[in-house]
Structure 1
Amino acid sequence: MTTLKPGDAFPSDVVFKYIPWSEESGDITACGIPINYNASKEWANKKVVLFSVPGAFTPTCSVNHMPGYIKNLPKLREKGVDIVAVVAFNDPFVMSAWGKANKVQGDEILFLSDPDAKFSQSIGWADSASGRTGRYAIVIDHGKVGYAQIETEKGAVKKSSADAVLASL
């Protein structure tokens, strides 16, 4: 269990669950088929912002965390970010529905599932009491970590906010 820090290589074995967005399953009540998303492979040659929330559809995550990333997508793209992804312990169906509820289409933001908080536990950033993913943000630039911060104050969205990530780019 090693916390990621700037300069570290992003782990080579990170696989999330994911339901790709599609026009035919774009309605919130439509279900897609979950697939494995090999983040280590997909992100190896890209600049990525990964932010984590304790749970989809929860108040802090839905009101204070997600909207900042949606609003700042153009600014993140201007800073050279290829992929913005959010991860939570929720299953891929819930994550897909949360993306649709936020009117995110296509691959504007990837809504990834970290089943059993496996990845978050591997970097020491899972909540041991609840088993959920912690609230954090990581910038990965061509396989190297450039920014990695976890919120230590309950309900806070400071170090993992879109503004904090933008300031680090």
Structure 2
Amino acid sequence: MTIKVGDKIPDSTLVKATADGPAPVGTADLFGGRTVALFSVPGAFTPTCSARHLPGYVDHAGDMKAKGVDEIVCVSVNDAFVMAAWGKSANVGDNVTMIADGNGDFSKALGLTFDGSNYGMGVRGQRFSMIVKDGVVAELNVEPPGAFGVSSAEHLLGQLA
């Protein structure tokens, strides 16, 4: 079943690269008691993700935070080292937190996966964005296959009150 507006984010453990190595990040801690702009990309370093999706969130981070977003999180079915390297190469700084969903468990729990095996990618998270307020989905924007629009930073920024 696919998550929808009004649903609570499922309990899951993601991974973030830190100076001390990969560290688990529980969804209860990540989303509880605050407003998070979350976006998912099919893969780090992939063309649309690198050229348009991630840069949009970096560029609009200040505007989002001015509208009440506590943290902007990028998630992908990649490992924490790849996510950290991608964030560094994209100069995300403190604007976007790069989080790994290495086995795709979080994406599966959301019901937002696709099979990219024909492209050598295996099961991946769909391209989407959401606003999560105190662990509950307030806005959800899922892209049709191959599209990029409603999950963009510009679209999500327009949904912030």
Letter paired with 2:57: Y
2:145 corresponding residue in structure 1: 153
2:112 corresponding residue in structure 1: 125
Residue 3 in 1 paired to residue 5 in 2? no
What TM-score does the superposition give when structure 2 sets the normalisation length? 0.90
1:167 corresponding residue in structure 2: 158
**Which digits, 9 at most, give the CA deviation of each residue in 1:75-109, with x for residues without a partner?**
1011100010000111100000011001122x421
Please give the alpha-carbon distance, in whole angstroms, between the structure 2 residues aligned to 1:143 and 1:101.
Answer: 30
Amino-acid identity (%): 36
Kept in 2: contact 1:15–1:40 (CA 8 A): no
Which residues of 2 match residues 1-169 of structure 1 at below 5 A?
Answer: 2-11=1-10, 13-20=11-18, 33-105=21-93, 107-129=94-116, 130-154=122-146, 156-169=147-160
Shift of 1:39: 2.3
Kept in 1: contact 2:57–2:153 (CA 8 A): yes
Letter paired with 2:13: V
Letter paired with 1:17: V
Question: Alpha carbon RMSD of aligned pairs, Å?
Answer: 1.3
Structure 1, unaligned stretches of length 5 or more?
Answer: 23-31
Kept in 2: contact 1:55–1:89 (CA 8 A): yes
Shift of 1:150: 1.2
Please give the alpha-carbon distance, in whole angstroms, between the structure 2 residues aligned to 1:81 and 1:4.
Answer: 21
Structure 2, unaligned stretches of length 5 or more?
Answer: 117-121
Letter paired with 1:136: F
Please give the alpha-carbon distance, in whole angstroms, between the structure 2 residues aligned to 1:86 and 1:8.
Answer: 20
Letter paired with 2:101: D
Kept in 1: contact 2:76–2:100 (CA 8 A): yes
Kept in 1: contact 2:12–2:105 (CA 8 A): no
Kept in 2: contact 1:15–1:38 (CA 8 A): yes
Higher-strand-fraction structure = 2
